[in-house]
Chains A and B, each alone.
Chain A
Amino acid sequence: KQEVTQIPAALSVPEGENLVLNCSFTDSAIYNLQWFRQDPGKGLTSLLLIQSSQREQTSGRLNASLDKSSGRSTLYIAASQPGDSATYLCASNNYGQNFVFGPGTRLSVLP
C-alpha cells in the first residue's frame, strides 16, 4: 500500500528566498504525482501534475521534479512571496489505487 510523507512539516522563510519542499513515496509504480496548495478554510488548488514518464514540470516560479527510482518528488519555489504562505500537499496516483496524499508542509513566508 502506498505511503506518502512530506518533510518538513512546517517551514518559515523570509520573503525572497528560494525553497524546496520534499515528498517521498514508498511505491514507485505511480501513474502521476500532483502538487497542491491549500489555504486556510479552503479546498485544494492544483499546482503541478507530473506524469510518470516526466522528470519535471514548471509553472511560473514553481518547479516540480519526480524521481521514481528513489521515490521522491520536490517542489521548488523561487523568490518566495508572502502570498505563497499556505499548506502544500503532494499526492500520488498509483495504478489500481486512488490518490494517496501526504500530510502537507505548512509554509510561512515572512514579509
Chain B
Amino acid sequence: GAGVSQSPSNKVTEKGKDVELRCDPISGHTALYWYRQRLGQGLEFLIYFQGNSAPDKSGLPSDRFSAERTGESVSTLTIQRTQQEDSAVYLCASSLRWDSGNQPQHFGDGTRLSIL
C-alpha cells in the first residue's frame, strides 16, 4: 500500500506570502503529526491530530502557523506571512492510534520550503 504522501516536495516563495502544505496519511491511520526540521537540526514537533479529538497544537511556533485535518484523512499545514526563518523541511507522519499497541510512526519525504 501507499505510504505517507506530502506535496509539494519543494516550495520556493517570497517573504510575506502564505503557503499551504499537504499531507496524505496512510489509509486507516488515525494519528497524524507535523514536524519541522531546520537545516542540520533535529525534528521540532508542531501539531498532532488523533481522530476527531481536539488537536495538540502545543508545538506551533506562532499564530502564523495553523493546521487542519478533516476526519482521518488529508491534513494541510498553513503558514501565513512567511518569514525567512520558516525555511525548513516540513515532515508529516502518521500512525495507528498511539495508545493501541505502541504503533510506530511512518514518515513522508517532506516538503522543502525556501523563503526568499
Number of contact residues on A: which range applies?
20 to 34
Residue of B nearest to A104 (CB): B42
- Residue among A41, A46, A101 making CB contact with B43, cutoff 8 Å: A101
B45 touches A43 (CB 8 A): no
A81 to B23, CA, bound (A): 33
A34 touches B108 (CB 8 A): no
Residue of B nearest to A48 (CB): B104
Q: Which residues of A contact B33 (CB under 8 A)?
A: 98-99
Is the CB of B62 closer than 8 A to any CB of chain A?
no
A99 touches B45 (CB 8 A): yes
Is the CB of B25 closer than 8 A to any CB of chain A?
no
A101 to B91, CA, bound (A): 13
- Report whether over half of chain A's contact residues are helix, strand or loop; otherwise say mixed: strand
Q: How many residues of B contact A (CB 8 A)?
A: 25
Q: Which residues of A contact B41 (CB under 8 A)?
A: 103
A45 touches B107 (CB 8 A): yes
Q: Which residues of B contact A101 (CB under 8 A)?
A: 35, 42-43
- Residue among B93, B102, B109 making CB contact with A42, cutoff 8 Å: B109
Closest 5 A/B residue pairs (Cβ): A43-B107, A44-B107, A101-B43, A103-B42, A46-B104
Q: Which residues of B contact A (CB under 8 A)?
A: 4, 6, 33, 35, 41-43, 45, 48, 56, 58-59, 91, 93, 98-99, 102, 104-110, 112
